Structure 1
Amino acid sequence: MDSAFRILAAVSAGGVLGALARYGLGVAWPHPPHGFPWATWTINVSGSFLIGVLMTAVARWRPNQRYLRPFLGIGVLGGFTTFSTSIVDVQHAPPAIALLYLFATLIGALLAVWLGSTVTGLGSR
């Protein structure tokens, strides 16, 4: 099997798993029509944290695992996080909630990636 095809297969398989996990969480925790979309925010921030953990861990401890990052990082966590849905949520929320949600998502996701990477990096010292 061609290497590019194997990477595409890894991303696709991981994406299915991530999207199913996101869907399940969204069904279990729906947000009110005009309230703060906590499920989507939690998905994006926790997914960002896990991306920080994963990318740091793989770079330090499993750098030669060719399909690990495409499967887990791009596939599972890319399918799990849903930043496009957060933009739709912003467009449909009242202005005050939309601004709060937009900034909470941006700041929360950036801090989560940093924290995940930092915490994982400390484990290697």
Structure 2
Amino acid sequence: MTILLVALGAALGAPLRYLADRFVQARHDTVFPWGTFAVNVCGSLALGFLAALPADAAVMAAAGVGFCGTLTTYSTFSYETLRLAQDGSRFAALANVLASVMAGLGGGVCGMALARAVTG
């Protein structure tokens, strides 16, 4: 049953990641990967929120592992960072690493704080 919950969450997270990435990136005329950055920060916020809620294995399987796991993308982040560096945009590559790590951690912390505020 757990594998089906993960698959269901992933079936929603993966297309949303693609659509959100394309939506955001289309609005920026820059080499910086804003779309990937945005989905990774949003996914970190969502996972932080879920992690701070009372544990429910089914919700974590579907929403945490499946949805957030496919919404966020470490492989694309790595690829885009390497591509920026190889293309000579070393500042943008470094900015992507620093901003993504800091904003991802910050998103997780904010998600946890939001869950605690909502649940009292």
Normalising by structure 1, report the TM-score.
Answer: 0.84
Equivalent in the alignment of 2:33 = 37
Letter of the 1:96 counterpart: F
TM-score (norm 2): 0.87
Separation (CA, whole Å) in 2 of partners of 1:104 and 1:49: 15
Q: CA deviation at 1:9?
A: 1.1
Unpaired runs of 5+ in structure 2? Answer: none
Match of 1:3 in 2: none
- Could you tell me which of 108, 115, 119 is aligned with 1:120? 115
Q: What is the Cα deviation at residue 115 of structure 1?
A: 1.0
Corresponding letter in the other structure for 1:77: C
Asked if 1:73 is matched to 2:64, the reply is yes
SS in 1 for 2:25: coil
d(CA) in 2 for partners of 1:96, 1:82? 21
Tell me the residue number matched to 1:19. 14
Return the alpha-carbon distance in structure 2 between the equivalents of residues 38 and 13 of structure 1. Answer: 27
For residue 66 of structure 1, report the CA deviation from its aligned partner: 3.0
Residue of structure 1 equivalent to 2:73: 82
**Could you say which residue in structure 1 is the equivalent of 2:93?**
98
What is the root-mean-square deviation in Å for CA atoms of aligned residues? 1.7
Q: How big is the shift at 1:33?
A: 8.8
Separation in 1, partners of 2:65, 2:40: 14
| CA distance in structure 1 between the aligned counterparts of 2:37 and 2:13, rounded to whole angstroms | 16
Q: Secondary structure at the match of 1:35?
A: coil
Percent of residue pairs bearing the same amino acid type:
25
Once the 2 structures are TM-superposed, how far is the Cα of residue 12 of structure 1 from its aligned partner? 1.2
Counterpart-to-counterpart distance in 1, 2:92 and 2:76: 15
> Which deviates the most, 20-29 or 104-113?
20-29
Aligned length: 115
Query: Hey, what's the Cα distance between the residues in 2 that align with 1:33 and 1:12?
Result: 35
Runs of 4+ in 1 over 2 A off after TM superposition: 26-34, 122-125
